[in-house]
Amino acid sequence: MMRKFAVLAGLLVCFVMVGCVVQPVDSSNMPKSDSAISTNTLSVADGQEFEVYTLKPLDPIYIRFSGIMEQQQLELVIDENGEISLLHLAPIQAAGLTTSELEHKIEKLYVDGGIYKNVSINVTMTAKVFYVQGEVNQPGQFPLSSGTTLLQAIAGARGYTPFAWTTKVTVSRHGKIYRFNMKELEKDPSQDVKIEAGDVIKVPQKPW
């Protein structure tokens, strides 16, 4: 009797051990760790968008009106006080707003004031010129020629001052700001970008 019990106990132990054998893991089916995953990151020279542009005094803007007959389009420059003047409205503070915020503000003023029942506004920064500001030797407004690039625009402004922060140059376009590392563009001109009408190029001062 005791012998049969010992045999049964031995068989039970073997069964448990076989059931507990760890099977080899197929590593090909496992997800890669973060450190092993290949990622493509945009460099600063790729024009990484990092903030929304707000309008400033002397910015040129183009306003298109839809849904009304009195006025359909208007090209103007924000005055030194940051204001614009439109038909039937008191001066409007435009500086400090994005183009989309200005659109909403104008629409609200016309509709809430009972001037128009239905009006749609589109605001863009468009002009046949571009602007270079900040740490360049000749900042100002420049006529836009077909095919003008960012490197050419800087050269047209007589290059950088000794205080220029050339890795943080920005281009404001259609309410958005793009940042460029000019040293990278100079090394690889194929990354250079074309300037569009109304672009505002700014070369900041080094923080040191």
Taking only the tens place, the pLDDT of each residue in 50-68 is 456 788 888 888 899 998 8
* Least reliable range by pLDDT among 27-31, 125-129, 168-172: 27-31
pTM > 0.75? no
Question: Between the CA of residue 51 and those of 146, 165, 168, 199, what are the distances in Å?
Answer: 27, 18, 13, 15
H/E stretch holding 80: none
Grouping H, G, I as helix, E, B as strand and the rest as coil, residue 64 is: strand
Give the model's pLDDT for residue 43. 37
Query: CATH second-level architecture of 60-124?
Result: 2-Layer Sandwich (3.30)
The boundaries of every CATH 3.10.560.10 domain in the chain are 127-203
Are 57 and 80 within 8 A, CB to CB?
yes
Give the model's pLDDT for residue 152. 96
CATH class of 127-203: alpha beta
Q: Which residue has the tokens 């602007």?
A: 131
Asked whether the predicted pLDDT for residue 146 surpasses 90, the reply is: no
Q: Which residue has the tokens 């080094």?
A: 206
Pairing state of beta strands 140-143 and 169-173? unpaired
DSSP-derived letter for residue 104 is H
67-116 tens-digit pLDDT: 888 878 898 889 989 999 999 999 999 999 988 999 999 999 999 999 99
Nearest to 131 by CA among 191, 60, 81: 60
Asked whether the predicted pLDDT for residue 17 surpasses 70, the reply is: no
122-141 tens-digit pLDDT: 998 765 788 999 999 999 88
The boundaries of every CATH 3.30.1950 domain in the chain are 60-124
